[in-house]
Amino acid sequence: MLGWALTFLVLAIIAGLLGFGGVASASLWIAQVLCFVFLLVFAISLVVHLVRGRAPPV
């Protein structure tokens, strides 16, 4: 789950750079929403991983 959160975080950052930079001004709102959603999912996943305290499955 942490791997998926990291993957989506990278995608959201890329989408945010494109949207925030004016290259794709039509997708600005969508990029902002995705960026914040994936940052939230990443933070929740990180907290759950730290609370469980066990190694992720390989």
CA atoms within 13 A on the CB side of 27: 13
pLDDT digits (tens, 9 = 90+) for 9-43: 888 788 777 766 555 565 667 777 888 888 898 88
- Calculated CA dihedral for residues 39, 42, 47, 49, nearest 10 degrees: -170
Predicted confidence at residue 52, as pLDDT, reads 83
Instruction: Give the pair of three-digit tokens for residue 52.
Output: 């469980």
Domain coordinates in residue numbering, the chain: 2-52
How high is the pLDDT of residue 27?
Answer: 63
Determine the pLDDT at residue 21: 56
Output the pTM of the full model. 0.48
CA-based radius of gyration for the chain: 14
Query: CB within 8 A of 3, min separation 6: which ones?
Result: 56
